[in-house]
């Protein structure tokens, strides 16, 4: 990661998940997707793009497994942030 990388934001039609702007139905769907995530099976609009992305991931330390862990961790962190937002909102 670059030194100025600030993370990934999970955006929905109602707003950013990390900011509690998505409904629980969206959060549950995101959690289910994360549990089954395999970046090696991801699709791209162009076969050339898919090959380029696969090559870049394979060049990374840990390859696809490391990328899967990174994406899953990012999603889990977003879900936790969303949960914390709801807790603060309805706590009092």
Tell me the C-alpha to C-alpha distance, in Å, between residue 84 and each of 2, 6, 76.
Answer: 27, 19, 12
Residue 88: the pLDDT is 85
Residue 3: the pLDDT is 67
Residue 6: the pLDDT is 66
Residue 48: the pLDDT is 95
User: In a structure prediction context, what are the per-residue pLDDT tens digits for the chain, which is 92 residues long?
Assistant: 566 676 788 888 888 888 888 888 888 888 998 889 999 999 999 999 999 999 999 999 999 999 999 999 988 988 898 888 888 887 76
Instruction: Supply 66's token pair.
Output: 């490391």
């Amino acid at each position: 990661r670059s030194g100025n990388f600030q993370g990934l934001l999970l955006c929905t039609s109602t707003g950013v998940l990390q900011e509690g702007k998505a409904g629980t139905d969206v959060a549950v769907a995101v959690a289910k997707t994360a549990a089954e995530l395999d970046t090696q099976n991801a699709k791209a609009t162009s076969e050339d793009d898919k090959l380029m992305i696969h090559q870049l991931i394979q060049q990374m330390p840990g390859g696809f497994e490391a990328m899967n862990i990174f994406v899953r961790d990012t999603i889990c962190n977003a879900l936790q942030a969303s949960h914390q937002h709801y807790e603060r909102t309805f706590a009092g």
